[in-house]
């Protein structure tokens, strides 16, 4: 039981540290805005991970097996949303003036920061594949049959800790200063990455 739980923790950690839309959104928010705004984005991403975890616990992989079109639909819709985010970042990167960049890239309302994190995670194709397959496989392990609530808490806590760590690191003054010097290049690269993720 302990080995199976540690294996899941390790695999989820590997999934978290692999750069994806969630990571780039949190890091870009942390360097371009305040730490508070990035924390709100991180909380939105954590809620998204919790939703995916609950769906996996309720048999997400079985639903995907019986309705393959639903999985494909989610992947397409998520890809389109990520492409839209990438377009927004690319457009802001080539806009004139730093002030116009900040106004276009990110919303001003704290609620919208939270929703942006939530929607980015829910639309992340990597999350669809991970929770619909890899994570779901662990739920079929009889050793973990009575630990589903623990798995949910572990996934939630691990996700929160990682993205709060990312928020802290990228909101440091040195990172912010580097962003101010390279804002056009950073937003261009971030926008390109989001667009590639969405297209993929």
Residues with Cβ within 8 Å of 121's Cβ and at least 6 positions away in sequence, in order, are: 21, 22, 44, 45, 47, 48, 49, 52, 127
Q: Give the model confidence (pLDDT) of 13-50 as tens digits.
A: 888 887 778 888 998 889 888 899 999 999 999 999 99
Q: What is the mean pLDDT of the chain?
A: 78
User: 79-115 b/e with 16+ CB inside 10 Å = b?
Assistant: bebbbebbebbbebbebeeeeebeeebbeeeeeebbb
Window from 57-71, 105-119, 143-157 with minimum mean pLDDT:
57-71
Tokens of 29: 């928010």
Output the pLDDT for position 183.
Answer: 63
pTM > 0.85 = no
14, 33, 80, 195 from 17: Cα distances, Å = 5, 22, 23, 20
Q: Record the tokens describing residue 22, joined without a space.
A: 């969630």
């Amino acid at each position: 039981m302990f080995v199976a739980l540690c294996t899941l923790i390790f695999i989820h950690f590997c999934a978290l540290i692999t750069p994806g839309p969630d990571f780039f959104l949190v890091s870009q928010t942390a360097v371009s805005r305040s730490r508070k705004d990035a924390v709100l984005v991180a909380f939105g991403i954590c809620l998204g991970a919790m939703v995916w975890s609950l769906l996996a616990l309720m048999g997400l992989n079985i639903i995907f097996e019986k309705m393959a079109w639903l999985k494909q639909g989610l992947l397409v819709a998520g890809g389109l949303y990520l492409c839209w985010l990438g377009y927004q970042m690319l457009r802001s990167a080539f806009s004139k003036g730093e002030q116009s960049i900040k106004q276009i890239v990110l919303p001003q309302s704290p609620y919208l920061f939270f929703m942006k994190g939530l929607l980015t995670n829910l639309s992340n194709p990597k999350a669809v594949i991970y929770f619909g397959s890899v994570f779901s496989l662990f739920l079929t392990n009889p050793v973990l049959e009575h630990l589903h609530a623990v798995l949910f808490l572990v996934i939630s806590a691990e996700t929160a800790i990682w993205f709060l760590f990312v928020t802290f690191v990228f909101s440091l003054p040195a990172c912010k200063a580097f962003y101010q010097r390279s804002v056009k290049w950073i937003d261009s690269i971030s926008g390109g990455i989001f667009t590639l993720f969405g297209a993929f």
